[in-house]
Structure 1
């Protein structure tokens, strides 16, 4: 409030962030906002264009120590998702900022009889990866609902381990993070879904 006593409300210094940052804090009186760049992968400068204030979706997130657990799908182009890797046996995407997630939903081999075994890894820095799902020995197809312990996620990597046709590969058609259905498959919201990969 006075430019002398500052309270740190968000710390993303250990995470890869890009494009528009949608940052949430608990309600408080604020007069001044200070943003400090801590590192940059491409150069030594830190720039931002503008800061805007909005509370429209405050009811759609949970805020935990400055970290956001969204209820809506953040794996969308409109949420500044980037596809980092698109190969026959691997799909890797980067969210615009770190989110606390505990579920995802994938659409595999849409409309086809082919089945696939796959694994899912996540990371916050594109260096240290944790496997959160291992369905390498399964015969999976269509929608896959994945639930796991809450964790910070920036990168998501889906890797094919095997397919029912030797000359074919995994096609991850849609991705939701977090999943927009409950454990019974009932939609939570009518959010649009990202079409990551079409049929090749």
Structure 2
């Protein structure tokens, strides 16, 4: 692949690194020169996407556009944005640049459709902003998939677990036990798959009992 990928990162920094590592590890090569070129802007100055949606605090869109423009000017062929919640502003960002931005929400729905093997009940673990904006609820509206959304109490635990990851706590995340209890509860209700609808969630997968 000769194209250069631009990663619009910083949301959060560990999730950005996780994506870059996945791209490298999943690329079948035998030497440095065969790897896919990556340009990463780990912009930690982008305001909280969750606070903007939940509490009408400072919008991240100006900083998101600025970051995308830096990547475009650097010559990337397309942009990936490892933050589900930030996709709430994807169209606003795309209007200001010519470089295409891959839609992670749409790609996730497409992947689920082609890989669930008859499993029709899926648990969404995402930020409170993603849940409130109904990014995945709307994306799955026309699909034969039942999306389970945590209760308000459970969502607070999910959000807290995400915040812990952003602070650097993964294996020692204090909400892992409660998160696993939530998953067990939904497994008993027939859930057989999970969407890590926040890019911090996959970092917890090694410590989550069912990470399918």
- Asked if TM exceeds 0.5, the reply is no
- Higher helix residue share: 2
Structure with more strand by fraction:
1
Structure exhibiting the larger radius of gyration computed from Cα positions: 1
